[in-house]
Structure 1
Amino acid sequence: MKTVAVIDYGMGNLHSASKALEHVADRNTRVVVTCDPETILQADRVVLPGVGAIRDCMAEIRRRGVDDVVRQVVASERPLLGICVGMQVMLNHSEENGGVECLGLMSGNVKFFGRNLKDAAGNKLKVPHMGWSMVDQHQPHALWQGIEKNARFYFVHSYHAHAVDDEVAVGRCDYGVNFDVALAKGTVFAVQFHPEKSAANGLRLLENFLQWSP
């Protein structure tokens, strides 16, 4: 029996994420929602979700020792999936809440969309960026298997990510600005959108994650 640990640090969309994973998992895969370090470190795959303000997320991640656990997961080269704020915390720094230092597992920063965001035609865009948007598969990756190019995924966020290394950015989106929505480095894959809310495309990505052998 293989185990997928969804990390519970009090700030994730745990029910939706775990149910979506259970939906695509085979009978030999068990999905557990847990904050226990030993359970997480023994799992075959790990998911780091996240919603809300990054200051609160990082505060809970550090208070519960999740930062050290995640680094151990990465060091052990087991597949790790970050979702939404769970992607943003992978980078160095976010300008949200006056500036917050993140985990620094990938080089990059998180920025605010701005209050006067406009599309190419000059029309004002709402912030947060909420709803379905096209994702450009900027780099090939195993987790894109079976997903059409420029497929749509569901987003809810006011801050967007920019990786320093172009090769890390495997998915991009345009919403007034061009930004990174899928990052990959080694055994880590992280997305800004919510695969658990993205219908067939999101479920396929989660299924690909469960089958991924980096």
Structure 2
Amino acid sequence: MITLLDYGAGNVRSVINAIEKLGETVHVAASGRDIAEAEKLLFPGVGSFGSMMGILREKRFVEPLLAFIKAGRPFFGICLGMQALFEGSDEAPEEKGLGVLPGRVVRFDVDLAVPHMGWNGISVKQPTDLFYGLGGDEKFYFVHSYHVVADDAAVVLTTTDYGYPFVSAVQKGSVQGTQFHPEKSGASGLTLLENFIRKDRTVSIPPKSPDHTRLAKRIIACLDVRSNDQGDLVVTKGDQYDVREGGNVRNLGKPVELAGRYFEEGADEVTFLNITGFRDFPLEDMPMIQVLKETSKHVFVPLTIGGGIRDFTDKNGRSYTALEVAAEYFRSGADKVSIGSDAVYIVEDYLKRGKATGQSAIERISYVYGNQAVVISIDPRRVYVNSPAETDHPTVVTTIPGPEGQGHCWFQCTVKGGREGRDVDAVTLARVCEKLGAGEILLNCIDRDGTNMGFDIELIKAVKQAVTIPVIASSGAGCEAHFAEVFEATDVESALAAGIFHRREVPIGAVKRHLKDSVEIRL
């Protein structure tokens, strides 16, 4: 029996599914007494440090937690669950940590994208049974903006490099913790969790591990999901956002089956974009919720869901917040939520007011779940001009002339599935969303969607240079070389494709084999 501490924030379903896949039973702690009676305690922390510690104190979990650890029973913290072991965090200076280990949590101070997001390696610093059966060169999934600075080197189990070495796992007696997410780290992560569960493994020789680790570029499979004319949820794909062919919605497969296939083929993440038009409250779209729940049982890499994440009033007059909608997706197995059209409206309001309200969906979700949980999906199209003087929007000199030979363009944001253009450009949208708390940009391109012409490098460069958060390049991939091109020509952290994967024109494995000699990837 494994007891899981669920304090009510984030995706714990994936952790439960991982433990159950290993043949164990999970008991979710609902009270201090449940913690006190636990044999082994797993604490997956999600969101922001201040929100987490506030909830732990409100639920009166702090004293039982400290008593459990002091008694010497096995404890495993994941991400914020590990950070909570220390004295405090710069993310919330007013909140004290558990103080079990000496040290503090600080924000990354690097000339790299923050959050540190993606697959990275570990360098083992002391004997442990946690990595039994692993070779030492595995990569694990990280997603965080803050990291531990330990005052006692003896508690440092592993380090990882991101601009500089930071503490990525700790160990002291029966207490262990990782900054990375084993439940999202594929087979290697499952092995690590199994080693924590089965403490009868006495081998304590650390595996060979690199002295220096490198963050991998991510290859993401995207599944556009919508109801077809028969009312079934299907994976579809559009050409410049038109998903119909011969009058019918293109049906390229079932969402859960395709997601499982991509996990087995080596996808680093899976993204679901629910493009069904909501006629009522999004939470009543239960088939999509069920897709997430079923997928998270078999797919142990990060899952992102987009569609309908906004404030909403249903036909009965009951109001729901975007935070409530996001919470339901997180509880169903999502790790990140993607906000599209609503992000444009939020930025328009910000530009009109000249300041943030603190009440937008981006701000509220990122406060509770952390900025790494909020992805902004931008759907721009090119607007050509003869010179920058013709528009107030930032322009680029383009190597792809306009229909009348124009040599400049700006990138207009759209809403409603690309059907309506707005007076906001992609660069401004990305900058403002980062300021409001978003942790990642999914950068689409209507002009390239479904063309197989390659990614829009000029668009990607313009947005990537404007923000300090990770950017996902999307739209236009038609062959393996297009992935190499976007990674070599820009600083994006990941690249996404859909149709070429769905139709098996370019398998994920073929992309990684093509990249492995020139780009750091996870094999």
TM-score normalised by length of structure 2: 0.37
Residue 44 of structure 2 contacts residue 77 of structure 2 at CA under 8 Å; is this kept in 1? yes
The CA deviation string for residues 39-77 of structure 1, in whole angstroms up to 9 with x for no partner, is 222221101111111000000011111111111111221
The CA deviation string for residues 1-37 of structure 1, in whole angstroms up to 9 with x for no partner, is xx21101111243111111111113xxx421122222
Seen in structure 2, the aligned counterparts of structure 1 residues 157 and 133 have a Cα distance that, compared at 3 Å, is same
* Residues 194-209 of structure 1 aligned to structure 2 (within 5 Å): 194-209=181-196
1:64 to 42, 52, 59: 59
* Residues 164-179 of structure 1 aligned to structure 2 (within 5 Å): 164-179=151-166
Residue 154 of structure 1 contacts residue 195 of structure 1 at CA under 8 Å; is this kept in 2? yes
1:97 to 75, 92, 101: 92
Note if 1:73 corresponds to 2:49.
no
More strand by share: 1
1:148 to 132, 135, 141: 135
Equivalents in 1 of 2:135, 2:103: separation in Å?
27
Equivalents in 1 of 2:134, 2:185: separation in Å?
12
Residue 161 of structure 1 contacts residue 179 of structure 1 at CA under 8 Å; is this kept in 2? yes
1:20 to 11, 18, 21: 18
Which secondary structure state, in structure 2, belongs to the residue aligned with residue 154 of structure 1? strand
Equivalents in 1 of 2:30, 2:10: separation in Å?
12
Query: How far apart are residue 98 of structure 1 and its match?
Result: 4.3
Which secondary structure state, in structure 2, belongs to the residue aligned with residue 61 of structure 1? helix
Which secondary structure state, in structure 1, belongs to the residue aligned with residue 154 of structure 2? coil
Residue 31 of structure 2 contacts residue 61 of structure 2 at CA under 8 Å; is this kept in 1? no
Equivalents in 2 of 1:15, 1:75: separation in Å?
28
Equivalents in 2 of 1:72, 1:35: separation in Å?
16
* Residues 5-154 of structure 1 aligned to structure 2 (within 5 Å): 5-25=3-23, 29-98=24-93, 100-114=95-109, 117-118=110-111, 125-154=112-141
Equivalents in 2 of 1:49, 1:178: separation in Å?
23
Seen in structure 2, the aligned counterparts of structure 1 residues 74 and 98 have a Cα distance that, compared at 3 Å, is closer
Which residue type is aligned with residue 148 of structure 2? Answer: A
Which residue type is aligned with residue 5 of structure 1? Answer: T
Unaligned runs of at least 5 residues, structure 1: 119-124
Equivalents in 2 of 1:203, 1:136: separation in Å?
19
Residue 131 of structure 2 contacts residue 192 of structure 2 at CA under 8 Å; is this kept in 1? yes
Residue 117 of structure 2 contacts residue 144 of structure 2 at CA under 8 Å; is this kept in 1? yes
Equivalents in 1 of 2:9, 2:67: separation in Å?
20
Aligned length: 201
The CA deviation string for residues 99-155 of structure 1, in whole angstroms up to 9 with x for no partner, is 5321101011111013xx23xxxxxx2100000001111212111111222321000
User: Counterpart of 2:412?
Assistant: none
Equivalents in 2 of 1:112, 1:99: separation in Å?
16
Which secondary structure state, in structure 2, belongs to the residue aligned with residue 94 of structure 1? coil
The 4+ residue runs of structure 1 with deviation greater than 4 A are none
Equivalents in 1 of 2:94, 2:129: separation in Å?
33
Residue 19 of structure 2 contacts residue 25 of structure 2 at CA under 8 Å; is this kept in 1? no
Equivalents in 1 of 2:116, 2:57: separation in Å?
28
Seen in structure 2, the aligned counterparts of structure 1 residues 99 and 160 have a Cα distance that, compared at 3 Å, is farther
User: Counterpart of 1:121?
Assistant: none
Unaligned runs of at least 5 residues, structure 2: 203-523
Equivalents in 1 of 2:86, 2:79: separation in Å?
12
User: Counterpart of 2:177?
Assistant: 190
Equivalents in 2 of 1:12, 1:83: separation in Å?
12
1:212 to 199, 202, 208: 199
Equivalents in 1 of 2:51, 2:88: separation in Å?
14
Residue 110 of structure 1 contacts residue 161 of structure 1 at CA under 8 Å; is this kept in 2? yes
Query: How far apart are residue 169 of structure 1 and its match?
Result: 0.3
Equivalents in 1 of 2:155, 2:137: separation in Å?
18
Identity level (%):
39
Equivalents in 2 of 1:102, 1:33: separation in Å?
22
Which secondary structure state, in structure 1, belongs to the residue aligned with residue 46 of structure 2? coil
Residue 137 of structure 1 contacts residue 144 of structure 1 at CA under 8 Å; is this kept in 2? no
Equivalents in 1 of 2:121, 2:144: separation in Å?
15
Equivalents in 2 of 1:66, 1:12: separation in Å?
17
Which secondary structure state, in structure 2, belongs to the residue aligned with residue 143 of structure 1? coil
Residue 9 of structure 1 contacts residue 61 of structure 1 at CA under 8 Å; is this kept in 2? yes
TM-score normalised by length of structure 1: 0.89
Which secondary structure state, in structure 2, belongs to the residue aligned with residue 91 of structure 1? coil
